[in-house]
Chains A and B, each alone.
Chain A
Amino acid sequence: MKRVDMKRIRWVFVLVVIADLIFLSLPTIIVVASSFTATDVVAFPPHGLSLKWYVKLMGQEDFIAAFLRSFEVALFCTLLAIPAGLGAALALHKYKVPRRRFWDIYFLLPFTIPLIVSGLGLLIIYGRIGLLNQIWPVGFALTVINLPFMLWAVSSSINALDENLEFAARNLGAEGLQTFLYVTLPALTPGIIIGSLIMFILGFNEFIVSLLLTNVHNMTLPVKIYNSIRAVIEPTLAAISSVYIVLALVVIWILDRVVGLEEFLRVR
Chain B
Amino acid sequence: MEISKRKLFVTRAWWTFLDAVIGAKKRRSRLSPVTVGYLWMTPAIIIVGFLVVGMGYLLVYSVFRYDTAQFMVPAFTLENYASFFSSMDTLKVFGRTLGTTLIVTAASLIFGFPYAYLTVRVRNGWIQKALLVALFLPFFTGEVVRAYAWLILLGRNGMVNTLLGSVGLPAMNLIYNRFAVTVGLIHIMLPFAVLMLAPALTNINREMEMAAMNLGAGKVRTLYHVVLPLSRPGIIAATIVVFTLSITEYAIPAILGGGLYDFMANRIYQIFFHVLDFPQGAAFSVILVIVVSLMIPLAYGVSSLIATIRRRRELSCYSEDNR
Q: Do A and B actually bind?
A: yes
| B48 adjacent to A208 (CB under 8 Å) | no
| A241 adjacent to B149 (CB under 8 Å) | yes
Main SS at interface, chain B: helix
A-chain residues with CB within 8 Å of residue B254 when the two chains form the complex? 226
| A120 adjacent to B281 (CB under 8 Å) | yes
A-chain residues with CB within 8 Å of residue B155 when the two chains form the complex? 233
Report the Cα distance A178→B19, complex, angstroms. 10
Q: Which of A121, A202, A247 is B53 in contact with, Cβ under 8 Å? A: A121
A167 at the interface (CB under 8 A from B): no
| A268 adjacent to B48 (CB under 8 Å) | no
| B137 adjacent to A25 (CB under 8 Å) | yes
Q: Which of B53, B61, B190, B202 is A265 in contact with, Cβ under 8 Å? A: B202
The residue in chain A whose Cβ has the minimal distance to the Cβ of B147 is A229
Report the Cα distance A34→B52, complex, angstroms. 44
Q: Mark B217-231, 1 if CB is under 8 A from A, else 0.
A: 011100100000000
Which of B4-12, B34-42, B63-71, B79-87 interfaces with chain A?
A: B34-42
A-chain residues with CB within 8 Å of residue B146 when the two chains form the complex? 27
25 contacts between A and B (CB under 8 A): A12-B114, A14-B118, A20-B112, A25-B137, A27-B149, A27-B150, A28-B138, A30-B153, A42-B152, A44-B152, A44-B158, A97-B41, A113-B289, A114-B244, A114-B248, A117-B289, A120-B58, A140-B47, A177-B21, A202-B140, A222-B142, A229-B144, A244-B145, A245-B145, A261-B133
Residues of A136-155 at the interface with B, using a CB-CB cut-off of 8 Å, are 140, 143-145, 147, 151
A115 at the interface (CB under 8 A from B): yes
CB-CB under 8 A for A144 and B152, given A252-B136, A266-B199: no
| A121 adjacent to B58 (CB under 8 Å) | yes
Q: Which of A17, A107, A245 is B137 in contact with, Cβ under 8 Å? A: A245
Minimum C-beta distance from A52 to chain B (A): 18
Q: Which of B18, B128, B131, B288 is A114 in contact with, Cβ under 8 Å? A: B288
A118 at the interface (CB under 8 A from B): yes
B-chain residues with CB within 8 Å of residue A114 when the two chains form the complex? 244, 247-248, 265, 285, 288-289, 292
Report the Cα distance A211→B254, complex, angstroms. 12
Residues of A1-34 at the interface with B, using a CB-CB cut-off of 8 Å, are 2, 5-6, 9-10, 12-14, 16-17, 19-21, 23-28, 30-31, 34
| A124 adjacent to B134 (CB under 8 Å) | no
| A92 adjacent to B41 (CB under 8 Å) | yes
Q: How many residue pairs at the A-B interface have CB separations less than 8 Å?
A: 290
A-chain residues with CB within 8 Å of residue B50 when the two chains form the complex? 121-122, 125, 140, 144
| A: number of interface residues (CB 8 Å) | 100
Residues of A whose CB lies within 8 Å of any CB of B are: 2, 5-6, 9-10, 12-14, 16-17, 19-21, 23-28, 30-31, 34, 41-44, 80, 83-85, 87-88, 90-92, 94-98, 103, 106-107, 109-118, 120-122, 124-125, 140, 143-145, 147, 151, 175, 177-178, 181, 201-202, 204-208, 211, 222, 225-226, 229, 233, 237-238, 241, 244-245, 247-249, 251-252, 255-256, 261-262, 264-268
Q: Which of B36, B57, B143, B152 is A207 in contact with, Cβ under 8 Å? A: B143
Residues of B whose CB lies within 8 Å of any CB of A are: 18, 21-22, 25, 33-34, 36-38, 40-45, 47-48, 50-55, 57-58, 61, 111-112, 114-115, 117-120, 128-129, 131-138, 140-153, 155, 157-159, 162, 186-187, 190-191, 195, 198-199, 201-202, 216, 218-220, 223, 244, 247-248, 250-251, 254-255, 265, 268-269, 272, 281-282, 285, 288-289, 292-293, 296
